[in-house]
Amino acid sequence: MKRREVMHGLIWGALAGGLTPIPAFADEDGGNSPAKHESDDDTFTENEITRSAADFFGIATEAAAKAVQRVFKEQGRPDAYVKGDEGSGAFVVGLRYGSGWLIRKNHEPKKVFWRGPSIGFDVGGNASKVFTLVYNLKREGNLFQRFPGVEGSYYFIAGIGVLYMRAGGVTLAPMRTGVGLRAGVNAQYQEFTETRDWFPL
């Protein structure tokens, strides 16, 4: 009799143990798990970027949202962004210089500079605010390199021009508004540095 009671106790204990919650771990197909969502803490949502861009450009949230929505649809959530100002001018060969702040979650803002030529059918001058979404940055040092423009990726929406640039696995999506005329088809690159450098090449 005692043996039967012991067996019943073991069976019910095993069943009760089966109801104990089991911690979730990352599976091979990337199912819902804490490991998968931890990276979301280091990226920005569409609403966060829309609000920041609208405040920075001083435009309506609806206008910023149109440009941001397209970038998010094509590129997803960025893990950083750069906001700043730049000046540029061109007569066939153009020069662009800018400075601003690299913003990452859980990191202090970092002062950064950029420069680069633009070559092509390009005439005019421009002073712009620039809000650049950064993808796959992973570490700060990956920003400090030369980024060529992606051919055919430029588009203009809601008063904001967007151009994709890529290098070393990092993708940039600079969004610009500004005063002045800067029209044409051009081939360009942009180089980020930790200190200001006036030499454009």
**Which structure tokens are listed for 108?**
């202090």
From first to last of its 201 residues, the chain has per-residue pLDDT tens of 444 444 444 333 433 333 333 233 233 333 333 333 335 689 999 999 999 999 999 999 999 999 999 999 999 999 999 999 987 665 556 677 899 999 999 999 999 999 887 655 455 556 678 999 999 999 999 999 999 988 778 888 888 888 899 999 999 999 988 654 444 445 578 899 999 876 655
Q: Sign of dihedral through CA atoms 115, 87, 78, 103?
A: positive
Contact between 93 and 117 (Cβ < 8 Å): yes
**Sequence spans of domains, the chain:** 1-42, 44-193
**pTM to 2 decimal places:** 0.72
d(CA 196, CA 188): 19
